[in-house]
Amino acid sequence: METTVALVTTDISNFIGVLTLNNPAKHNSLSRQLLDELCAGLQSMRAHQVRVVILRAPAGSKVFSSGHDVRELPTNGRDPLTYGDPLRHAVRKIEQFPAPVIALIEGSVWGGACELVMSCDILIAGDDTTFAITPAKLGVPYNISGVQNFLSTGGMHLCKEMLFTAQPLPVERLVNQGIVSYALPKNQLESKAQRLAEDIAKNSPLVISLLKEELRLLSSAHNLSPETFERVQSMRREVYDSGDYREGILSFIEKRVPQFRGN
């Protein structure tokens, strides 16, 4: 009988929950199934009233997550990143979770996985970790809420460099920007995450929940006119209706360098 292996494992002890991405064969790519299991794990931890969550990959991982599972992106002209996209859903679940979420990051972080970890409340990373935001390399029109999340976390100039170059940046750059709280040798990551989690868990969960929601609301207090939103959406539709979008996905599947033509 075939055994189904969980793509996200959960563990709860002393009000501390641990969610572990568990699909190393596919570099923990953010497939619909993995993200659904991540959301289910968060829901279970909410039910168990955990006071802090640690999100991580298995110890020793070379890749924390390779980002969107490109094979699941549509090729038929449908918007690839809508409000109902699994990654959007997971990011909202983390942001709206009533307890802090600590990202314990080993290995490289690619594409949409950058947004996933940046939606967490505290980031701790290995001192050799790199981050790359790659939609421009794939020809994928990232949506405005995702870009806003990057901007509110990383600041304008760092976001422009990461989005425009699609190249990996060392963790030190993100520490200097205040995005990553600690960059440590790998053998110190777990103990640091555990100490932070224990410090948080000792505090009033009601106050922590209130503070997290207040900070979320204050950080998202940006006005965007309907006209501006529609203009950006129109630009995005042009991209995902383009030959470059199809070329980006096809080149990824065929494992070759994309030949973008700008149309």
Angle of the 144-154 helix axis to the 86-96 helix axis, nearest 10: 40
Strand (E) or helix (H) holding 89: helix 86-96
Query: In degrees, to the nearest 5, what angle opens at C-alpha 122 toward C-alphas 151 and 168?
Result: 55
Please give the single-letter amino acid code of residue 88.
Answer: R
Find out whether 31 and 67 touch, Cβ atoms under 8 Å.
Answer: no
Nearest CA to 65 among 26, 20, 31, 109?
109
User: Which residue, chain included where needed, has tokens 């993200």?
Assistant: 35
Residues marked active site are found at 68, 112, 142
Catalogue the long-range contacts made by 47-51 (C-beta closer than 8 Å, 24 or more residues apart). 48/12, 48/17, 49/15, 49/205, 50/12, 50/15, 50/16, 50/17, 50/99, 51/15, 51/16, 51/99, 51/200, 51/201, 51/203, 51/205, 51/208
Give the residue among 153, 67, 55, 59 at the shortest CA–CA distance from 97. Answer: 55
